[in-house]
Amino acid sequence: MSDPLQQWRDALQDLGVFGLVPEPQEEPEVPTVQAPAEQPSPKEDRVPIAPSTDPAVCPPLEAVASTASLDLLKTCIQDCLACPLGAGRIRFVFGEGDPTARMLFIGEGPGRDEDLQGRPFVGKAGELLEKMLAAIGYQRQDVYITNIVKCRPPDNRTPTPQEAQRCLPYLRRQIELLRPGVIVTLGATPLRELLGVLTGITRIRGQWQRLEMLGGIPVMPTFHPAYVLRQYTQDVRRAVWEDLKAARAWLDQHPK
């Protein structure tokens, strides 16, 4: 087994950071948590979805809101068929990681490998996410990873706003139970559906946002690992590394 320093160097090189990069010596700059920039309200093009009250199709939202642990939440929602994605899934993908983790990653939705295994980020994008984590000194088990929707969209398409909004109460309860110190959103979809930010990810990545829950949670938007794999340039990989470094620095400066 190679030593941890070498693993760290390898991870940095995979992210496009070449040469030995020293541990930051200076106090990292405290990011200013800003309200999302002015933009059209996402509500304008959304059709509000009335929560289903049929417990045969999905759990009542009151039951979801009253779950006292992640395990109970998973049990409560794992047979959900509240949106069309439920009927097409092989496995429900709740999310996984350290339930006391301070860093929460939110992606878009399960892909083929995730649907088969019932775990988030296990394919090539998952491998890259693990390298991204290694570059900031984390292992997968140090963080928590989940998605906007818990069931695979067909052909890995983006979940529709209706699907995402129907699944959102589950994610919000997950966040309430996890109480993360910082959230990293991967790609445009979680930023749009969770925060209502419609700005393209290329423009907004690296700029702190704020989720108005639990007194305000800092949110760092960055590229989705699947995008990084498609655009495997040094600039894109370095951008992700910078975003994750900023998220890690925020946590280091704000211990529990």
Instruction: In whole angstroms, give the CA distance from residue 184 to residue 222.
Output: 7
Strand 182-186 to 217-222 pairing: parallel
149 binds ligand SF4 per the rule CB under 6 A:
yes
151 binds ligand SF4 per the rule CB under 6 A:
yes
152 binds ligand SF4 per the rule CB under 6 A:
no
76 binds ligand SF4 per the rule CB under 6 A:
no
Of the chain, the end-to-end C-alpha distance in Å amounts to 33
Instruction: In whole angstroms, give the CA distance from residue 231 to residue 251.
Output: 29
85 binds ligand SF4 per the rule CB under 6 A:
yes
81 binds ligand SF4 per the rule CB under 6 A:
yes
82 binds ligand SF4 per the rule CB under 6 A:
yes
Region near ligand SF4 per CB under 6 A, out of 34-42, 143-151, 199-207, 210-218: 143-151
Q: Return the residues of window 20-59 that contact ligand SF4 according to CB under 6 A.
A: 58
Pick the closer one to ligand SF4 by CB: 33 or 81.
81
Instruction: In whole angstroms, give the CA distance from residue 119 to residue 122.
Output: 7
Q: Are 218 and 33 in contact (CB under 8 A)?
A: yes
Q: Residue 23 class from Cβ within 10 Å (0-12 exposed, 13-18 middle, 19+ buried)?
A: exposed
Nearest to 144 by CA among 102, 93, 110: 102
Region near ligand SF4 per CB under 6 A, out of 13-21, 66-74, 83-91, 189-197: 83-91
Q: Provide, rounded to whole angstroms, the least separation between the CB of residue 223 and ligand SF4.
A: 23
| Binding residue for ligand SF4, selected from 134, 167, 194, 239, defined by CB under 6 A | 167
- Report how far Cα 114 is from the mean position of its chain's Cα atoms: 14
Q: Which residues bind ligand SF4 (CB under 6 A)?
A: 58, 77, 80-83, 85-86, 149-151, 163, 166-167
